[in-house]
Amino acid sequence: MTTTNARVLCADAGRPDVRELSRVIAVRLLQRVGIPTTESPGFAPTGSVPRTPMTVEELVPGDPDGLAAAATALADLSVSVPVDLIPLVVATSKAHASLGKAILAQRVKAAEVFEKAAAAGIPNDVICHDEKMTEFIGAQPERGDLVLELAKEAITLRLAWTDAESDFVDALREVREELDIADW
């Protein structure tokens, strides 16, 4: 039997713990099916999410294309696994597809926010960092309302991204339980 790279069944899902959840599920699904993999089944998140996002990708982290590819690879895998594993693989595929779509939609909105800021000559870090926002508004109070409006939009997007991450984890609750992955 050939060793399979679990990385084709997972993707950068955003937060380090969520990204690692995607990887661990892929490894454990392959193990359950009996397909050898060189990946560790242990949970060891690494990395971080930028606190002051300067780009669309930093404001809404994750890899929507990778999530879509993982969803497709998982859907393909679902036709060759034992019947009792099909619901787990399908649920994992759906969760990846849903998160990928959410990230993609949020990135479109984030690009619009950053474009509005650029058009107004407002740096991205001003709308994404309290201290810089305060300094900017202090220096240019006439632009305060616009800065606050853009900051509110950026914060709303970051919260929507956090909700999408939580929805991904929640959608995988039964998969996590079945594969004996610790609950958060």
Per-residue pLDDT tens digits for 95-154: 999 999 999 999 999 999 999 999 999 999 999 999 999 999 999 999 999 999 999 999
- Residue 184: is its pLDDT beyond 50? yes
pLDDT value of position 166: 96
pLDDT digits (tens, 9 = 90+) for 20-77: 999 999 999 999 998 888 888 888 888 888 888 899 999 999 999 999 999 999 999 9
| pLDDT at res. 61 | 94
CA angle centred on 13, ends 40 and 8, rounded to 5°: 55
User: pTM for the whole thing?
Assistant: 0.91
Q: How confident is the model at residue 1 (pLDDT cuts 50, 70, 90)?
A: very low
pLDDT at position 63 is 95
Average pLDDT value for residue range 5-11: 83
73-93 pLDDT, tens per residue?
Answer: 999 999 999 999 999 999 999
pLDDT at 91: 98
Q: Is the pLDDT of residue 160 over 90?
A: yes
pLDDT at site 4:
60
Q: 45: buried, middle or exposed (CB in 10 Å: 19+, 13-18, 0-12)?
A: middle
- The Cα 58–Cα 76 span in angstroms is 31
Whole-number pLDDT of residue 2: 47
3 state SS for 110-136: HHHHHHHHHHCCCCHHHHHCHHHHHHH
